[in-house]
Structure 1
Amino acid sequence: MSNFQLGLIIAGALVLIVVVAYNAWTTHRNAPKRPRPAEADPAQEPVARHEPAFDGAVLTGAGLTGAGLTGAGLVGSGAEGEAEPGFDGHAVDLRDALDLPVPTAERRGGLDPLIDAIAPIVAEQQVSGDAALAALPPTRRAGSKPFAVEGFNDAAQQWETPQPGQRYLQFQAGVQLANRLGALNEIEFSEFVMKAQGFADAINAAPDFPDMLHEVARARELDQFASEHDAQLTFVLRARHAAWSPGYVQQNAARLGLVAGAIPGRLVLPAQGPGLPPVLTLTYDAQAAMSDDPEQSAVRDIVLSLDVAQVHRSQQPFARLREVAAALGEAMDGVLCDQNGTPLPAMTMEPIAADLEQLYDKLDSRELSAGSALARRLFS
């Protein structure tokens, strides 16, 4: 074998080695980023919570549209009913960093003439709570609107859902005037009347129904207001280079206090108070989360969202959204975009913050402050 032939063999071997090494490097570089084993957290079991609703039902759906805000990433939205765990104290707590005040206890709950059509019901004699519960209709909805019956507790001097062992003389039945599925209509009002009349007949009581046309008109006006002041902020964090594995996303989100929700591919930043909706949600491809080998699944973008009407302004949800987006973008090498994938410059954030403050003020002026029990029911 000549020196020339030997040189060609060596050169070919070197080229082959370079090609194999380059392909291995490219594969490694483009493979989804994985969590560090030493920092990986065990899966957290979600704890069920109830969505805000006076009948204890989970309310879902989106029907109220038209956010009164301007700027990128704003859409009309429905609140997602889901089980969420409570905050468990991760290494980085944005609440402490922002020195957030704790929201005051909610005093206003149950049926309210501001967002409900209410019919007083007076019994001929005292009715036990057990009998009242037995007389309730099997479903707590009139069409798409929540329906409820309350009894007046003389000892506590307050309205409440009928309780076993208690006795009541006065009741009231109500149906919600509007939610994200729209305004109460004539058919739904008629169903409300039938359910309330059936309850009254069962306990030998007389109901006093409000005028249907008046209540339907109120419902339409309330729905119009809600439609104009309903908003959800939605931002997309997109990978600049290598994709992320679901575990990598979860690990980085957990450092910022986000915890797993009940739906695959969803994490939440829980509120401070028990039973409240999450402050923020982070979602990514559910199929990647449910994959047989999730660490080989590629996630190229995640969605950060805030349902404005569901979270009290005292929790500074938009500031926390910005903090989380910035921290994740830096840690995961991602770029913040709008829903169309257009990168968002930092200058777009301040106008959105200003519009949010105006929205909060308008909700406050209508006694439907963001995060209140009434707002959570209306915007559900």
Structure 2
Amino acid sequence: MSSFTLGLILLGAMVLAALAAWNTWTSRRHTPRRAQAAAPPPVPVEPRLGPALDAERQEPVFDVAPPLPLPERKPGLDALIDVLAPIALEAPVSGEAALAAMPPTRRAGSKPFAIEGLNAHSQQWETPHPGQRYGSFQAGVQLANRVGALNEIEYSEFVMKVQAFADAVNGTPDVPEMLDEVARARELDQFASGHDAQLSFTLRARQAAWSPGYVQQHAARLGFVAGALPGRMVLPSATPGAPPLLGLSFDTQAALADDPEQAALRQLSLSLDVPQVDRREQPFARMRETADALAAAMDGVVTDDNGQPIQPQALDVIGADLEQLYDTLDSRDLAAGSPLARRLFS
């Protein structure tokens, strides 16, 4: 065999080796990063929000931690964000009779509706309970929420529900004037719309994509737990019954894939619902720290919705604006994370 032929053979072998190396590198680059096999899967536990007028909005989620304390007691009706209609009684009414007279739904249109009784023994307003007696009742409907202000149609439905309940318990309702309450609802809705804030960061992969398990593993190390919805995780609050501090979400279809470890994620969203979380928990600072930690651990970059990297200076400005927002909410007795704020901004 001539040296020329031998050289061609060696050159061909080198080309084949280079191609094989290239294919291997390309395959690894495009294969989603996977979670370590030793990581235990999350187990169901995240606490439900404390019961409120808008109980239908509760979202059960899961946790790998021990069960958290029981939810806080339901906040009562409040004239600050509710229309209140007192119901005078001819005689005390049992809790059983009150419950039997309750309307089948706890909403008037899109607004939460509730009835409370004045407990004859404790002299406290509460949701009627069996075995108790009540000297009077009050009905309430929420003035506004994120759907909008209470309107005339919803108010009329409220009045019909109040009257039906009052008739069933031999009571006489005192319903406020509709125009006054609807005007008050619009004012509250205008304030809420101008002082609502829901923030989100986008974390994008720099090079290799992530598998859902890879994302869940790194998020779990920072305290996140899996949610009821596929592709959703939350960072629980330290306050019993409170909404989560932060939310983390990624593509639902990837989470539901037949083989999630082969599904490729190139971005995920980290969110904060500002009025729902107590400022004392410093949720925005936690959001920044969490975004930076995930980016460093997963080789990602934190961006805005347009894909532009977020600079620290811009985050400082947002933080200062949030402090002003918190102060304004405090001044209206609607402190972020309080039961009233959580109801209004829901």
Q: TM range, normalised to the smaller chain?
A: over 0.9
Q: 1: distance between equivalents of 2:304 and 2:120?
A: 54
Q: Which runs of 4+ in 1 moved over 3 A?
A: 105-108
Q: Give the structure 1 partner of residue 26 of structure 2.
A: 26
Q: 2: distance between equivalents of 1:324 and 1:146?
A: 34
Q: Give the structure 2 partner of residue 43 of structure 1.
A: 42
Q: For the Cα contact (< 8 Å) 1:86–1:274, is it kept in 2?
A: no
Shift in alpha-carbon separation, 1:86–1:150, aligned structure 2, 3 A = farther
The alpha carbon displacement at 1:143 in A equals 0.5
Q: Secondary structure of the residue that 2:43 maps to in structure 1? A: coil
Q: For the Cα contact (< 8 Å) 2:63–2:226, is it kept in 1?
A: no
Q: Give the structure 2 partner of residue 17 of structure 1.
A: 17
Shift in alpha-carbon separation, 1:47–1:235, aligned structure 2, 3 A = closer
- Alignment partner of 1:58 is 2:35: no
Q: Comparing both chains, which one has the higher relative contact order based on Cα–Cα distances under 8 Å and sequence gaps of 6 or more?
A: 1
Shift in alpha-carbon separation, 1:86–1:373, aligned structure 2, 3 A = farther
What is the TM-score of this pair, normalised by structure 1? 0.87
The alpha carbon displacement at 1:87 in A equals 7.5
Q: 1: distance between equivalents of 2:172 and 2:3?
A: 111
What is the percent sequence identity of the aligned residues? 65
Q: Give the structure 1 partner of residue 276 of structure 2.
A: 310
Q: For the Cα contact (< 8 Å) 2:72–2:241, is it kept in 1?
A: no
The alpha carbon displacement at 1:48 in A equals 5.5
After superposition, what is the alpha-carbon deviation per residue over 1:280-304, rounded to whole angstroms, capped at 9, x for unaligned?
0011111111111111111111101
- Alignment partner of 1:119 is 2:114: no
After superposition, what is the alpha-carbon deviation per residue over 1:288-339, rounded to whole angstroms, capped at 9, x for unaligned?
1111111111111110100000000010000100110111111111111001
Q: For the Cα contact (< 8 Å) 2:236–2:245, is it kept in 1?
A: yes
Q: For the Cα contact (< 8 Å) 1:237–1:301, is it kept in 2?
A: yes
The alpha carbon displacement at 1:41 in A equals 2.0
What is the TM-score of this pair, normalised by structure 2? 0.95
Q: 2: distance between equivalents of 1:157 and 1:339?
A: 52
Please tell me the residue identity of whatever aligns with 1:10: L
Number of residues paired by the alignment?
342
Q: 1: distance between equivalents of 2:202 and 2:291?
A: 9
Alignment of 1:224-303 (within 5 A): 224-303=190-269
After superposition, what is the alpha-carbon deviation per residue over 1:109-138, rounded to whole angstroms, capped at 9, x for unaligned?
211000000100011111110110010010
Q: 2: distance between equivalents of 1:107 and 1:309?
A: 19
Please tell me the residue identity of whatever aligns with 1:269: L
Q: Aligned match of 2:298 in 332, 357, 365? A: 332
Q: 2: distance between equivalents of 1:153 and 1:122?
A: 14
Task: Kindly report the root-mean-square deviation, in angstroms, between the aligned alpha carbons of the 2 structures.
Answer: 1.7
After superposition, what is the alpha-carbon deviation per residue over 1:28-82, rounded to whole angstroms, capped at 9, x for unaligned?
12211111223x1223214451465225x223xxxxxxxxxxxxxxxxxxxxx42
Q: 1: distance between equivalents of 2:107 and 2:82?
A: 13
